């Protein structure tokens, strides 16, 4: 795939070398392996809000909630709780 988000290398039980592209879902940070010549629809989809690749699970949700935003919320909540002494 173009602009792959990663690369996987496997030496299988027979010592045969196999490789695959991967991408990381922009909404949940899950690594997805890309099978050769697979149907793009089977990989998940392209979020039309953030224009990033997403996994099938997030594609089925139909919402755009980037992982970066989720982490920012978690960190803000953590810092707020710390400031209250929890």
The residue ranges that bind another protein (CB under 8 A) are 3-13, 22-24, 28-31, 33, 67, 70-71, 74-75, 78
| Token pair listed for 44 | 């998940």
Residue 46, C-beta contacts closer than 8 angstroms, at least 6 positions apart: 52, 53, 54
Q: Which is nearer to another protein, 33 or 49 (CB)?
A: 33
Contact 1, 34 (CB under 8 A): yes
> Please, what is the minimum distance in Å from the beta carbon of residue 1 to another protein?
11
Q: How far is CA 2 from CA 6, 7, 21, 23, in A?
A: 11, 12, 9, 10
């Amino acid at each position: 795939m173009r602009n792959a988000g990663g690369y996987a290398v496997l030496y299988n039980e027979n010592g045969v070398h196999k490789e695959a592209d991967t991408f990381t879902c922009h909404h949940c940070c899950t690594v997805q392996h890309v099978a050769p010549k697979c149907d793009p629809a089977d990989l998940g989809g392209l979020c039309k809000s953030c224009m990033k690749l997403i996994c099938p699970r997030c594609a089925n949700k139909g919402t755009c909630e980037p992982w970066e935003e989720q982490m920012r919320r978690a960190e803000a909540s953590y810092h707020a709780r710390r400031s209250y002494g929890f």
